A and B are shown apart, each in its own frame.
Chain A
Amino acid sequence: MIACGAIAREILAIQDASRLDHLDLQCLPAILHNTPDRIVPAVEAAVRAAAGRYASVFVAYADCGTGGLLKAACERLGVELIEGPHCYSFFEGNQTFAGRDEFTAFYLTDFLVRQFDAFVWRPLGLDRHPELRNLYFGHYETLVYQAQVDDPALTHKARDCAQRLGLGFERRFTGYGDLAAALREL
């Protein structure tokens, strides 16, 4: 399984709970999340490198902002990937997420709450230029924290992230959503 590093912890938890010992996990850098145009070449290279060494390869990415290019690349390579537009959707369940249609929500997963400064605050330059905050987040209303596990410390941190971004806060427990189902089929 070639996976986004941002869901590595969750994959390992599912693997452990479901005894999916036949899967080897290789993670690509989670920071690719911030540069979707680099995801396809990175995944392609990893799949090609794994070819011949495994009976099958699974790509643990959704579309992830690639505009359909990752799915097309996976089809060319003859490998499967996770259904859905992104992890926010498959953690909540693609059907439920699509039904919400909440386009003024900014989502954080457990991983993104832990890595908020490295993945959101600093890459957007808000550490150096906090005055840019409203240019980025002015049209957002709520930070939705999608919790994969129950962890009061993470909830506290997520609430703090919302405050720093000037957004309302909602915690939504998702568990692993469609990710668990996708992995158990392998």
Chain B
Amino acid sequence: MADDEIILSELDDEELVAQMFDDLYDGLKEEIEEGVNILLERGWTPYDILTKALVGGMTIVGADFRDGILFVPEVLLAANAMKGGMTILKPLLAETGAPRVGKMVIGTVKGDIHDIGKNLVSMMMEGAGFEVVDLGINNAVEKYLDALESEKPDILGMSALLTTTMPYMKVVIDTMKEKGIRDDYIVLVGGAPLNEEFGRAIGADAYCRDAAVAVETAKSLVARKHNQPAAH
């Protein structure tokens, strides 16, 4: 054993959370899982571990990605580490009745198989207390509509990586308008070739440039929606 090796169980809570931030940043999945288990043994609630240790650490990763300090491979490794921790916490969160902020149905649009960004958004939304129903890739409009009807979410999220597939988001929104259900949901869109102008042009409520923005936008729009008097 190297002299400078850090023994996680010997750190106090504050040091351990700081170390977990570092371990998330470095994409160390096993260390994150160990840290989560130590905090559970110390009596932390699953919700506190999720928000203070994991989401806190991932927020730093997200900020450094946005600022060009970290790149996609490092973000993926960090996300994979966070996923390890969330796998332990998820069943416990359900048992302990952690607060639910809202519900989101999310999926990559028809003709598009790219899901890295979408998966990051799903994970960060879950971390922020949203229930997420992930429809996966290559979703036709019918699949979105079926999920809206069966899941009754607050938010519909759509993702696309390709210039050629992003117009399909408008097909989905236009179909929602035709059926008179557009205003029942908050519609968020994201993906590398998108921009705010495109989001506005297709009738989405917001374009989210990254997972952190998606979480903040979702929180703010859900709060606004819940504050509105019911429509008559």
Contact = CB atoms under 8 A, between A and B. Distances in A.
Contact of B113 (A66, A101, A103, A132): A103
A136 B116 contact: yes
Contacts of A63: 163
Contacts of B31: none
Interface stretch (B72-80, B125-133, B151-159, B210-218): B72-80
Contacts of A65: 162-163, 192-193
Interface in B81-123: 111-116
B194 interface: yes
Nearest to B164: A85
B51 interface: no
A140 interface: yes
A36 B138 contact: no
Interface residues of A, number: 24
A68 interface: yes
A68 B76 contact: no
B43 to A, nearest CB: 34
B79 to A, nearest CB: 9
Main secondary structure of the interface of A (DSSP, over half): loop
A65 to B, nearest CB: 5
A67 B194 contact: yes
A101 B163 contact: no
B72 A67 contact: no
B137 interface: yes
A129 B73 contact: yes
Contacts, number: 54
B166 interface: yes
B198 interface: yes
Interface string B160-187: 0011111000000000000000000000
B124 to A, nearest CB: 16
A168 interface: no
B9 interface: no
Given A67-B163, A67-B198, A129 B193 contact: no
Interface residues of B, number: 24
Interface in A94-115: 101, 103-104
Interface in B187-230: 192-195, 198
Nearest to B191: A67
B111 A104 contact: no
Given A103-B111, A103-B113, A124-B72, A132 B77 contact: yes
B71 interface: yes
Nearest to A101: B111
Interface in A26-45: 36-37
B116 A67 contact: no
A68 B193 CA distance: 8
Nearest to A62: B163
Interface in A55-75: 63, 65-69
Contact of A125 (B72, B137, B162, B194): B72
A105 to B, nearest CB: 10
Contacts of A86: 163
A82 to B, nearest CB: 14
B213 to A, nearest CB: 15
Interface of A: 36-37, 63, 65-69, 85-86, 101, 103-104, 123-126, 128-129, 132, 135-136, 139-140
6 contacts: A36-B193, A37-B192, A66-B193, A85-B163, A101-B111, A139-B115
